[in-house]
């Protein structure tokens, strides 16, 4: 049988779709493509740092750790 992927536009639509599918005994699974707020804020902060030129180039793990043996 074919599968459907639906994209409800708001919570009310999601609730209604789930109720209809449960009433009709249609199996479904719910997945979320959203990221936690702290992840989004971190990405936005990094993008702003890149725009401001506040990034440091990566030169190697030895230099980051101040590793004396090369």
pLDDT tens figures, 37-48? 899 999 999 999
Q: What is the pTM of this model?
A: 0.46
Tally of structural domains, the chain? 1
In a domain, 2, yes or no: no
Structure tokens at 49: 């740092």
Would you report the helix, strand and coil content of the chain in percent, each value rounded to 5?
A: 45, 0, 55
Domain enclosing residue 50, as ranges: 11-64
In a domain, 5, yes or no: no
Would you say residue 69 has pLDDT above 70?
no
Higher pLDDT pick, 59 / 5: 5
In a domain, 22, yes or no: yes
In a domain, 40, yes or no: yes
The separation between CA 21 and the C-alpha centre of its own chain, rounded to angstroms, equals 27
In a domain, 18, yes or no: yes
DSSP state, 37?
H
Dist CA 55 CA 45 (whole Å): 11
In a domain, 49, yes or no: yes
């Amino acid at each position: 049988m074919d599968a459907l992927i639906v994209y409800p536009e708001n919570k009310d639509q999601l609730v209604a779709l789930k109720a209809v599918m449960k009433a009709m005994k249609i199996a479904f699974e719910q997945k979320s493509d959203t990221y936690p707020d702290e992840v989004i804020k971190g990405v936005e902060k990094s993008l702003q740092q890149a725009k401001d030129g506040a990034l440091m180039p990566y030169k190697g793990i030895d230099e980051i750790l101040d590793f004396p043996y090369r």
